[in-house]
Every structure is written in structure tokens, then in C-alpha cells.
Amino acid sequence: MLNALQIEILKEIINIGVGKSAEVLNSMIQSHILLDVPEVKIVEYSEYDKFVHTFEDTDYSVITLPFNGELNGFSKLIMSSDHAAKLVDAFIGKSGASLDMDSLKIDILSEIGNVIINAVMGTLGNMLTINLDYIVPSYEKGVRNIIIPQEMLNNKSAILFAKTQFKIEEFEAEGNFAIFFRLESFKSLVEKIQEYFDKNIS
């Protein structure tokens, strides 16, 4: 299991990744993006329900990027549908978003999610020198139950959940970026973080 120092390193890497994504998004919409300090925790299968209930009971728009290779899991951009609409507003103006056209929103949200997820996963891969294979991201919409990937529910495995909250000030849009690592990846992750520590920090 990750110790306090390793958790801090993971938080740092995620923070750097989201920061990079913020740079790209800023250049796309010329708006300031605020980032919270990331939160990392282990969620046991028995705690899934409690964990899901930490999210507000509303509709969510979620972009998921599954990854395999040296680590396995899912990275997700989780936004309430209201905030997703605000984010779309930020890019195309209110007249388009007010039409509530899913196809339009899905296209744009997929790209925004892609920018954030890629920046974080790219940073994670580069800094920890991990080779990852990616599958094309997907979009889904639903209640908060969709936050935990179905595969993890089926396997009843514990998950390492790392998330950070971001806020686009001008549009009052906010969301979470989360990485769900499969338990079997924990060992590799711990090793990679330790290697990073030995090489760069100690």
C-alpha cells in the first residue's frame, strides 16, 4: 500500500498534469482555471456506496479513458450535467448550449476531457516512466452511480482513487478529474513512485 510520502508524490504528479491541461484549456478559451490540491485515497469495495454518496445527487457527464500496460485503470473527467453545460458555454457561447443538443455537447466535452486526461496521464507516464496503452475515450451520462467504472464494480476490487477539483472562474464551471487504479496495479505504482523518489528526490 502507498505510504504518506508516496501519496504526496502521486498528488504532486497529478497536480502538475492538471496544471498542464489548464495551460492548454486557457489558450483555447482565454479563461483562468483554478485547481484544488489533489486528494488520494484507497476505497475498499465495501466503501463504494459511501464513496459514491460523497458526490452530489444529480446528473453527471463523464468522459472515461481506460488505460492498460504497466498500470491498469480508468481516468475520468466527472462533471455534473449543469456544470458540463457551463463548460460547453465557455467554448461555444450560450446560444448553442441553450439548445441542449447532446451531440454538440458530447463532441466538445470529449475534447475538453481529452485535453485534461491526456495532460495528467501523459505527465504520469513521463515522470514515472510508465508505458501505458490507451483506448479511445468514451462519453456517458447518468446518475452518480456511473462514477465508479462498471468493471471495478464487477471485480469487487479495491480502488486507488486520485482526484482533483478544477474550476473555470469566468463560467463558474467546475468538475473533478479522477484516476481509478485497479488493485493489481498498486504494486507497480508503488515501485514506480519509489523509483521516482530514489532518482529525483532522495
Partner 1 sequence: MSALQDTSLYNTLDFLPEGYFIIDSNYKVKSWNKVLKILTNVEKENILNSELGEFFPNFKKDIYKKRIDPIFKGGPPVIFSAQLHKNLFSQKENQKNLYYQVTISSLKVDEENCNALFSVENRNEVYSQINDLKNLHDKALNEITEKDEVHSELVNQHIEIEKAFLGLSEKNLQIEKQKQQLLELNATKDKFFSIIAHDLINPFSSLMGFSSILYEKFDTYTPNILKEMIGHMHQTSKQTYDLLQDLLQWSRAQSGSLQNKPIKLGLDEIVIDNIELVKNRSLNKNIEISKSIPSKLYVFGDHNMINTVIRNLISNAIKFTPEGGCIDISVDEVAENQDQNDFIVLKVSDNGVGISTEKLSKLFKIEESPSTVGTNDELGTGLGLILCKEFIEKMGGEIWVESEEEKGSTFFVKIPLYKE
Footprint of partner 1 (CB under 8 A): 24, 27-28, 65, 67, 91-92, 95-96, 98-99, 101, 103-104, 107-108, 110-111, 114-115, 117-118, 121-122, 125, 131-137
Q: Specify the 3-state DSSP secondary structure of 129.
A: coil
End-to-end CA gap in the chain: 20
Q: Please state whether beta strands 173-182 and 73-80 pair in parallel, antiparallel, or not at all (unpaired).
A: antiparallel
Q: In the complex, what is the shortest distance from the CB of residue 120 to partner 1, in angstroms, rounded to a whole number? A: 9
Contact, 71 vs 183, CB < 8 A? no
Min separation Cβ 194 and partner 1, Å? 23
Indicate the residue among 131 and 200 with the shorter CB distance to partner 1.
Answer: 131
Q: Which residue, 7 or 175, has its beta carbon nearer to partner 1?
A: 175
Q: How far is the CB of 106 from partner 1 (least distance, A)?
A: 9
Residue placing its CB nearer to partner 1 in the complex, 131 or 202: 131
The distance of closest approach from Cβ of residue 143 to partner 1 in the complex, given in angstroms and rounded to an integer, is 25
What is the rounded distance in angstroms from the CA atom of residue 153 to the CA atom of residue 130? 26
Minimum CB–partner distance for residue 55 and partner 1 (Å): 25
Whichever of 116 and 160 has its CB closer to partner 1, that residue is 116
Task: Give the three-state DSSP class for 117.
Answer: helix
Q: How far is CA 94 from CA 91, 98, 100, in A?
A: 9, 6, 10
Q: Which is nearer to partner 1, 120 or 152 (CB)?
A: 120
Q: Which of 29, 5, 39 is nearest to 162 (CA)?
A: 39
Q: Check if the beta carbon of residue 67 is closer than 8 Å to that of residue 76.
A: no
Across the strands, what pairs with 39? 163
